[in-house]
Structure 1
Amino acid sequence: MFNFFGKGVEPSYGQALDFTLNLETLSVSDFDRNALAIYPNPTTDVLNINYRSNLTGVTVYNGIGQEVLCRNTEVSQLQLDLSKLTSGIYIVKLASEEGQHSFRVVKE
């Protein structure tokens, strides 16, 4: 005779699992959004990005998540040419030594 777990109803000896899970806090760098200036938004051609320290990279994604522009940089002031992109909403991902930040930009 079996119960709903597929085991017999007679008492039996089984196998026990014993393990330890060590959890540590993750260190996440903070991207200071207060030190970030992005203008104009919405934009037609050029998006200006200013940050307090050097940006190491910028990536632009379209509405369905496809990468449409990617650039490695080492500057704190960047002019991003979006003139070749079609009108729509894009996600811009910035990277610096401090961390990463993503924001939405509207291209007219």
Structure 2
Amino acid sequence: MDEEIVNYPYETASVNFTVAADGIYYVAFRAFSDPDQFYLSLDNIRFTKAILATDEEKSSAISYYPNPAKNNLTVENSQELTNITIYDLAGKVVLKQDANSKNVKLDVSKLAKGVYMMRAATKEGAKTVKIIKD
């Protein structure tokens, strides 16, 4: 079989969609064509999360320690925290705690060692940071 390599025009596409805050999402691509007439190449696929700058700025005074944490993680903020949620890297909620304080102590002793994302929320907004469980 004699195959010829042909340069085709490169096309780009953008898709915007909204998802709930929690969850795991799967993205699929589907293409239809007559047999041996179509080639689909996907590269440079990027997912971005749009964040309101005002939400980040209003909760930017957050501090958390120690990081890495072994048994307890302390979270402090200049504004009262309403809740704190820790997610594994697959997006699954592994710890959620309501808070009505500027200073919250989390028991992370039951979490497996690894990297997590922590979302600390106030009435004004939320901030998500990376934490490490040792």
- TM more than 0.5: yes
Cα distance in 1 for residues equivalent to 2:88 and 2:70: 15
**8 Å contact 2:78–2:102 — kept in the other structure?**
yes
Structure 1 partner of 2:119 = 93
Counterpart among 100, 112, 125 of residue 74 in structure 1: 100
Cα distance in 1 for residues equivalent to 2:114 and 2:53: 35
Cα distance in 1 for residues equivalent to 2:114 and 2:92: 13
Structure 2 partner of 1:105 = 131
Question: Higher relative contact order at CA 8 Å, sep ≥6: structure 1 or structure 2?
Answer: 1
**8 Å contact 2:59–2:79 — kept in the other structure?**
no
Q: Which runs of 5+ in 1 are unaligned?
A: 1-25
> Does 1:58 pair with 2:84?
yes
Q: Percent identity?
A: 30
Normalized against structure 1, the TM-score is what? Answer: 0.70
Cα distance in 2 for residues equivalent to 1:46 and 1:57: 16
Q: How many residues align?
A: 82
Cα distance in 2 for residues equivalent to 1:84 and 1:78: 17
RMSD: 1.7
Relative distance call for 1:55 and 1:105 in structure 2 (3 A) is: same
Structure (1 or 2) with the larger CA radius of gyration: 1
Q: Partner letter of residue 106 of structure 1?
A: I
Normalized against structure 2, the TM-score is what? Answer: 0.57
> Does 1:31 pair with 2:58?
yes
Cα distance in 1 for residues equivalent to 2:110 and 2:76: 22
Question: Secondary structure of 1:63's match?
Answer: coil
Q: Which runs of 5+ in 2 are unaligned?
A: 1-51
Q: Which is strand-richer, 1 or 2?
A: 1
